[in-house]
Amino acid sequence: MVKPIINSIFMKKITRRHFVKNSIALSGTAFISLQLPGILKAAGPLAIPDIVTIGADDPMMQIPQLLEPLGGIEAFVKKGDVVGILINSPWVNPGTYTHPDVALSVAKLCKDAGAKNIVCFKPVREGYWEESRYYESLKPLIDEIIYGDDRVEVEIPKGIELNKAEIFKAFLDVDVYISIPVAKHHSGTNFSGNLKGLMGVSTSATNRHMHSPDGEYTYEKHEYLSQCIADLNLIRQPDLCIVDAIECILNNGPRGPGETVKPNLILAGIDPVALDAWSVNLLDFDVYDVPTIEKAAIHGLGQFDLSKLNVLQL
């Protein structure tokens, strides 16, 4: 059982992202524990879990169900909003990239909720959308997706190793930011999910600096890279996280090829740290071997003590 390290309560500004989580305290609804520690079942309609999981046989049907305990997509996306999605799409080996079925299901759900535009912060690789079973039916939506182009440099005053970063300007401009990573191994940080995935909004020059202070592209400086990733996440936290844990690479990440495991799950929540910690558990990794997670928690970005997480399995 994972032992707690971080016990502090981090005070955060109440935003739309945090309204859902704060509603738990107002509901007065208890949680009833199932057999395994940390896996809890909501006892009433107002009880909102930290993490929700669901099977992934048909993401288009299951993602709306996945979000219902969190208030539905309407709790995050309002009519006229510009929604930014961050997906991991560069690689081609199994378990190394966000499945396009998941990304397109989220995009359609946002459009159905009244989103004005869908922005994909980083352009996807060639042929990515075509891999989806929904490609033909959603081609008009795919054609509408806007991709990040303009860059801007931002300061990170509270960063420990990373004090500034060059990022896609669209990342700051969208009304809603949804993180949609794949859970997988990464040779530089041991695990890649929501936190590591944010490097998708920063430029190659910034990413080189994050790997090494002298700009060397290496995976050897694990602590430094992990701290830079935690610092980068101070710029903006996701309003919603939807994690692809359908098939996950266990070694030789980020690009593979490598061994994979197939949890066949999709996860959702508003705490990127909690979701990364739970995803690490799904891959049978040790959360203490993923320093990015603890460093992000120290920054006040979320909870990674699994014993304190309310997880609803649908």
Domain ranges in the chain? 63-244+280-313
Separation in Å, CA 244 to CA 85, 98, 206, 235: 13, 6, 26, 23
- Please give the backbone phi and psi of residue 41, each rounded to the nearest 5 degrees, phi first: -115, 130
In this prediction, residues 89-107 reach a mean pLDDT of: 97
> How far is residue 220's CA from residue 218's CA, in Å, rounded to a whole number?
5
Q: Sorting pLDDT into bands at 50, 70 and 90, what band is 162? A: very high
Write down the residue that tokens 């190394």 correspond to. 96
138 closest CA partner among 171, 116, 105: 105
177 and 169 Cβ atoms separated by less than 8 Å: no
30 closest CA partner among 14, 13, 45, 18: 45
pTM: 0.86
Q: CB 7: neighbour CB atoms within 10 A?
A: 8
pLDDT in tens, 35-89: 333 444 443 445 689 999 999 999 999 999 999 999 999 999 999 999 999 999 9
CATH class of 63-244+280-313: alpha beta
pLDDT at 20 over 60: no
pLDDT in tens, 245-298: 999 999 999 999 999 999 999 999 999 999 999 999 999 999 999 999 999 999
pLDDT in tens, 104-151: 999 999 999 999 999 999 899 999 999 999 999 999 999 999 999 999
> How far is residue 293's CA from residue 297's CA, in Å, rounded to a whole number?
6
